[in-house]
Amino acid sequence: MFWKFDLHTTSHIDTLLEKEDVTLTEIMDEDDVLQECKAQNHKLVDFLLRPQCMEDLVTFITQEPNTDVEEKVKYYPNISCELLTSDVGQINDRL
C-alpha cells in the first residue's frame, strides 16, 4: 500500500539547479552530489557538462588549494575527482 503515497522526494540539488546563478562550489557543498551524479541526475549532469564547470573541475584537481582556505574548500579536489570519474558516459565523453 505504500505506493499509494507519493514518496518521491526532490533532491536539494535539483532545487539549487533551478536557480540561474548557482555555482559549482554551491553544488559541490551538497552532501549528496556524488550519489546524484552516479544516479545520473539529468539536471546535475547537464550542469556539470557546461564548459566552465568542466574546466573548474579539472582546475580543482590540478592545482593544490592554498593552506589558508576554508576547510570545505580543501575537499573540492577530492569531490571533483569523484565527479569526473563517476563513470557517467556523458562526462567521460566531454572530458
- CA 84, 13, 33, 24 dihedral sign is positive
- CA 36, 50, 88, 42 dihedral sign is positive
User: pLDDT tens, 63-92?
Assistant: 988 888 888 888 999 999 999 999 999 999
Interatomic CA distance for residues 14 and 30, integer angstroms: 11
Interatomic CA distance for residues 95 and 93, integer angstroms: 5
Predicted local distance difference test score (pLDDT) of residue 58: 96
Q: Is the pLDDT of residue 41 over 70?
A: yes
